[in-house]
Amino acid sequence: MSERRTTALKRLLTRPEMAFLMEAHSGLSARIVEEAGFEGVWGSGLTISAAFGVRDNNELSWSQVVDHVAFMTETTAIPLLLDGDTGYGNFNNMRRLVRKLEQVGVAGVTIEDKLFPKTNSFLRSELQPLADVEEFCGKIKAGKDSQTDADFVLVARVEALIAGWGLAEAIKRAEAYHRAGADAILIHSRQSSPAEIFAFLDEWSGRAPVVLVPTKYWRTPTEEFRARRVSVVIWANHVLRASISAMQATAARIRAAESLIDVEPHVAPLHDVFRLQGDEELQEAEKRYLPVARGASLSAIVLAAGAATDFGGLTTAVPKAMLKVQGRPILGRLLDDFAHFGCRGVTVVRGHHAAAVDVAGARFVDNAEFGETGEAFSLALAEDSLVSGTLVAFGDIVLKRHLVQALLEDAGEGITLVVDSTLAASATPDRVRAARPDSGRFEFDEVWLVGIGDAVAPAASHGVWVGLLHAGRDGAAWLREAIAAARADGTLRTARLSDLVTRVLAAGRPARVVYVRGGWVNVNNLTDLVDASGL
């Protein structure tokens, strides 16, 4: 059985090694804190209030706080120490608070020796009246007597330095709270120098674990806390403050630009939002629990950004994808083919003559840099749509419908590519080598991709990739990983789609090949256009 969160928090407080808690103020931010590797969450009164747009003056009711932190414990497995302000009342309110916090999985609570309603410690020092020591000790005892989990943690926060009462009063109070049963002492300061905190630590000399919140004395090297045997350091508000800066910058940019073009690459991709919400778990659960097996969902991303040459005057005002084959634009034909197999939700990446690319029902993403960037860059712009069950296709291919059918019949959770085996020795760039050549007969076994692109010598090639692939649940994730890796090493802008597939293979992931024999044209010039009409 895994360790209880109360036990984990107690261990962080009592072990010799110093621990860090990171502020969070919502289910989402708590999950981000956990993902960053922190061992615990600080449920900050300041930032939870701020996230609701209210003041840190007990404007949220205690039950609103409890309901809210329940979302934070739900999204995480690490312990959460809640900033319980003054306990929201007297000893009796404190008893109910502890019982409720245990019920929602909170591992511990901090209460401060001020009066309800409190004011944030960094505001109006003249308005920081301290609680009566005996009354506060009663509150600590009541809290400790109410816990049903023996490891639930109660931290007593001493505000004597904040209120200007000096070191002797701080030590006197800490000692009283320690004797009343507090598991640790949080000593707070609003000075930019750690001098009064260090004086407290010297005098206290390890009588009970000490928690610090170095918001104001942030320049102090962490080693100084370690050297003085501090138990827990709380970074109390930086996730919220970072998000405020990001929200302000993004809102201002969109307002000024009246467009998302400059902002989109700088904000978290939508699939990251879905991941943080735990969509993957739901997808798994749907497979297990939904009564009727729903047809696998199918969507498509069509890359139609590239400029065209070799078409005489035909592409001076429209891109290749809008050239007509038997009276219908190439792109429209392709989308009809996909729709025939239940494809709903098509994203078209446009570039060259973007405004002329217009097909009903598609969502458009524009690659303004289509002249200097390649296929992988275009795909990355549509990354949000690269989800489980996505067809990825070039916008200039004309297919016979049975190619799509063959692909979908064989497609699984990984990546599956349609490969034309009649073009085995072709010099085209998307040459493919597979584990075996096309036998020309119907075979049951799966054919695995060995290599794709320039690295495959024409003589070693088993065919040419048609420019159409299917990404299942894993395949979509692998392609997104490949995009991230290419972005990280600076090759994304000029990479081809086949380079991304090569990366997937290099990462040890498999990809499958479905052999077809003709039945498609990649329209690159006028001759292709004529050939396509004959399909």
Residue type, 185: I
Size of the site for ligand SPV (CB under 6 A): 11
Give least dist CB 11 to ligand SPV, A. 23
Q: Which is nearer to Mg ion, 45 or 143 (CB)?
A: 45
Among 27, 40, 43, 45, the residue binding Mg ion under the rule CB under 5 A is 45
With binding defined as CB under 6 A, does residue 78 bind ligand SPV?
no
Specify the DSSP element, H or E, that contains 346: strand 343-350
Do residues 104 and 73 touch, judged by C-beta distance below 8 A? yes
Rg (CA), the chain: 31
Q: Which is nearer to ligand SPV, 18 or 22 (CB)?
A: 22
Distance, in Å, from the CA atom of 172 to the CA atom of 167, rounded to the nearest integer, reads 9
With binding defined as CB under 5 A, does residue 83 bind Mg ion?
yes
Burial of 401 (0-12, 13-18, 19+ CB in 10 A): middle
Among 120, 220, 250, 525, the residue binding ligand SPV under the rule CB under 6 A is 120
With binding defined as CB under 6 A, does residue 113 bind ligand SPV?
no
Which is the catalytic residue, given 56, 420, 499, 528? 56
Q: Which is nearer to ligand SPV, 45 or 143 (CB)?
A: 45
User: What residues form DSSP beta bridges with 112?
Assistant: 157
Q: Quick one: which of 212, 185, 184, 209 has its CA closest to 198?
A: 212
Dihedral of CA atoms 495, 496, 501, 507 in degrees, nearest 10, equals: -10
Q: Which is nearer to ligand SPV, 122 or 198 (CB)?
A: 122
Q: Which is nearer to ligand SPV, 219 or 288 (CB)?
A: 219
CA distances to 7, 25, 512 from 475, rounded to whole Å, are 40, 34, 10
Among 46, 50, 335, 382, the residue binding ligand SPV under the rule CB under 6 A is 46
Does 56 participate in catalysis according to the annotation?
yes
Tell me which residue has its CB nearest to Mg ion: 45
With binding defined as CB under 6 A, does residue 44 bind ligand SPV?
yes
Residue 323, contacted partner among ligand SPV, Mg ion, none, CB below 5-8 A by kind = none
Range 212-231, binding ligand SPV (CB under 6 A): 213, 215
Q: Quick one: which of 106, 102, 128 has its CA closest to 117?
A: 128
Give least dist CB 166 to Mg ion, A. 22
Residue 196, contacted partner among Mg ion, ligand SPV, none, CB below 5-8 A by kind = none
Residue 215, contacted partner among Mg ion, ligand SPV, none, CB below 5-8 A by kind = ligand SPV
With binding defined as CB under 6 A, does residue 159 bind ligand SPV?
no
Range 83-102, binding ligand SPV (CB under 6 A): 83
Give least dist CB 235 to ligand SPV, A. 10
Distance, in Å, from the CA atom of 352 to the CA atom of 366, rounded to the nearest integer, reads 9
Residue 66, contacted partner among ligand SPV, Mg ion, none, CB below 5-8 A by kind = none
Residue 274, contacted partner among ligand SPV, Mg ion, none, CB below 5-8 A by kind = none
CA distances to 145, 348, 440, 461 from 91, rounded to whole Å, are 11, 62, 82, 79
Q: Quick one: which of 395, 450, 466, 459 has its CA closest to 427?
A: 459
Cβ neighbors of 160 (< 8 A, separation 6 or more) are: 113, 130, 166, 169, 170, 173
Give least dist CB 66 to ligand SPV, A. 16
User: Which tokens hold the place of 234?
Assistant: 């709380």
Q: Which region among 41-49, 279-287, 450-458, 517-525 touches ligand SPV (by CB under 6 A)?
A: 41-49
Q: Quick one: which of 432, 397, 407 has its CA closest to 502?
A: 432
With binding defined as CB under 6 A, does residue 237 bind ligand SPV?
yes
With binding defined as CB under 5 A, does residue 108 bind Mg ion?
no
DSSP 54-95: --TTT-S-HHHHHHHHHHHHHS-SS-EEEE-TT-SSSHHHHH
Residue type, 180: A
Please identify every residue annotated as catalytic: 56
- Interacting residues with Mg ion (CB under 5 A): 45-46, 83
Please give the residue ranges that form the binding site for ligand SPV (CB under 6 A). 44-46, 83, 120-122, 213, 215, 236-237
